[in-house]
Chain A
């Protein structure tokens, strides 16, 4: 009985983490090129609304996902164009868009509130879903969940294993040097914003068409964008570590139901705060791990060195500092 429960629990963690993984990996890609897209929370809400309305009107789940990806890319492009070409503060633009996109979603989505709409059907993978334990955990989900699993690997490979990924990282680390090597940092950042925004849009669609089907105020996806932003940092700008963070958070969310049984006076929302102190803590550790004292402390001790290496997830050196051509 306990084993069955554990399987269900892990399966719901894998499913619940899917939209967070889309958003986290999308933002990781964008930030790798040095651009911060702070509009995540609003983007997820607006793309969720558009996904639901599109799927509802056309009766096509795939079109819903496509429209949501388009919305995500459009909002990310707005941040990128304002920041790169119009010299505006990217944090300011992202913040305004966050609030505005959420309100826009509530406003335009109002007539579609609480309607029964289409949702993705469960799609067990043939053969693999029959495997004991692993089958139900990994291979008995909606298709976006499989996509989220594949995306983790592909994003990692893209960033660290391809020439395109190297260009992306070089722009985030040192745009001047990248420019000298014939890469246009502005185009690269715009591209990274579009690509990342696309995945953030998918996060919204995954909410509205699979994980928390339907639209309404509140939808239930509120706050996910901020959590994803925190997880990007928690993951040290590495898509695999960030995805682990997403699973950890989804696990906390699922376990929160049990925790509430043990601590009935604490509302479930309190447990959802967990990623944020972790994020601050990670940033502090990153700062101190780079200090000389930490290096001296770890000298000659292999496990301390690997610990420091694990903790010191390096932010892209030029994150949030827009490149200005001479």
Chain B
């Protein structure tokens, strides 16, 4: 209802936009790979083979899809109310830190599953706390959420490094490879022969369904949108914009914190300096490309995860850098923004 371009709802128009964007990015990437001296079709083929070529590869993709989807779902709330939660990266890190704290306390416990559940809660609290700090800085101290979030990201990065090299260092020597690996009782159960934890996938699916219901059918979703469209008017209608901003931040941080937890309990089984794998930042791109719509998030997150996982082997097979995936992802979002801008420019003139 806030969209001033009703055409964008027509399926044909959407399809046309997608094809234009995809074709532009394809040509751009094609030229780029040529410039780097590698055969373009081979590069695309290797990305495809490296992501969907086998069940093991697919499980890696889903492993990346889980945190990406969780973060993207969280970001839907903050975008809806008009906040740019760039601090999601730090929120994910703090989720992982809080979870690790609980797991460390519970290594000798007789009830490992109970420790795991506690760690989920701790992760959500850690991420939520970090988000609410940014939220309070915004609502109480007038600090723009972008700069607050950015600052807190780096503070979180400092905290995780300090912990890994200081109080939580491995017996012997501390290193960038992280803390000591947790005992296997504290690992999330995985499907045999695949390193994939079904619990994580369950959480991601749950996050999509919850977000879809909350944003589309609940009064919370409606109010977030109302405040995001016109904060002052919504205040005059008796809503409390500040409270809803904190709520949106809390939800985003909670989802990100859970993603951080799953990186620890389900993937690495220890705390690493790069525990967030930049999935928070990447999730921002996912949501932008999804045009802030919940139904598009899982598919785009899956595509991005394919690119990330598929490009890992590029340095070995083609001697090109794996950052090609990031270039494609960025180009897609940029092309989408350009096209939407061009359409508005056309209607305006």
Contacts and interface: CB of A to CB of B under 8 A. Distances in A.
B327 A107 contact: yes
Interface in B94-126: none
Interface in B23-82: 32, 35-37
B131 to A, nearest CB: 15
Given A86-B344, A87-B341, A270-B162, A110 B327 contact: no
Given A91-B84, A287-B141, A82 B337 contact: yes
Contacts of A38: 146
Contacts of A288: 141
A106 B143 contact: no
B142 A269 contact: no
A270 B158 contact: yes
A102 B330 CA distance: 10
Contact of B86 (A95, A109, A110, A283): A95
Contact of B154 (A96, A111, A276): A276
Contact of A280 (B147, B165, B281, B285): B147
A97 interface: yes
Interface string B314-331: 000001110111110111
A293 B344 CA distance: 45
A29 B329 CA distance: 30
A147 B57 CA distance: 51
Contacts of B154: 226, 273, 276
A238 B326 CA distance: 35
A96 B330 contact: yes
A267 B36 CA distance: 36
Contacts of A108: 32, 35-36
Q: Which of A91, A96, A230 gathers the greatest number of chain B CB atoms within 10 Å?
A: A96
A284 B137 contact: yes
A109 to B, nearest CB: 8
Given A86-B342, A276-B155, A267 B165 contact: yes
Contacts of B146: 38, 91
B144 interface: yes
A86 B345 contact: yes
B158 A273 contact: yes
B36 A99 contact: no
Interface in A225-254: 226, 229-230, 233
B284 A279 contact: no
A97 B340 CA distance: 17
B36 A110 contact: yes
Secondary structure of the B contact surface, majority rule? helix
B141 A284 contact: yes
A85 interface: yes
Secondary structure of the A contact surface, majority rule? helix
B193 to A, nearest CB: 33
Task: Kindly state the interface size class of chain A when it binds its partner.
Answer: 35 or more
Interface in A203-245: 217, 226, 229-230, 233
B275 to A, nearest CB: 15
A84 B282 CA distance: 25
Interface in B275-294: 281-282, 284-285, 288
A93 B337 CA distance: 8
B333 interface: yes
Contacts of B281: 99
Closest 3 CB pairs of A and B: A86-B341, A100-B330, A103-B326
Interface of B: 32, 35-37, 84, 86, 137, 141-144, 146-148, 150-155, 157-158, 161-162, 165-166, 169, 174, 281-282, 284-285, 288, 319-321, 323-327, 329-331, 333-334, 337-338, 340-342, 344-345
17 contacts: A82-B341, A92-B288, A92-B337, A93-B337, A96-B288, A96-B333, A103-B330, A104-B323, A104-B327, A106-B323, A108-B35, A226-B150, A229-B150, A265-B169, A269-B157, A280-B148, A280-B151
Given A100-B326, A277-B155, 20 more contacts: A86-B337, A93-B334, A93-B337, A96-B330, A96-B337, A100-B329, A100-B330, A103-B327, A107-B36, A108-B36, A109-B321, A110-B319, A110-B320, A111-B36, A265-B169, A266-B166, A267-B161, A270-B158, A276-B152, A283-B142
Interface of A: 38, 82, 85-88, 91-93, 95-97, 99-100, 102-104, 106-111, 217, 226, 229-230, 233, 265-267, 269-270, 272-273, 276-277, 279-280, 283-284, 286-288
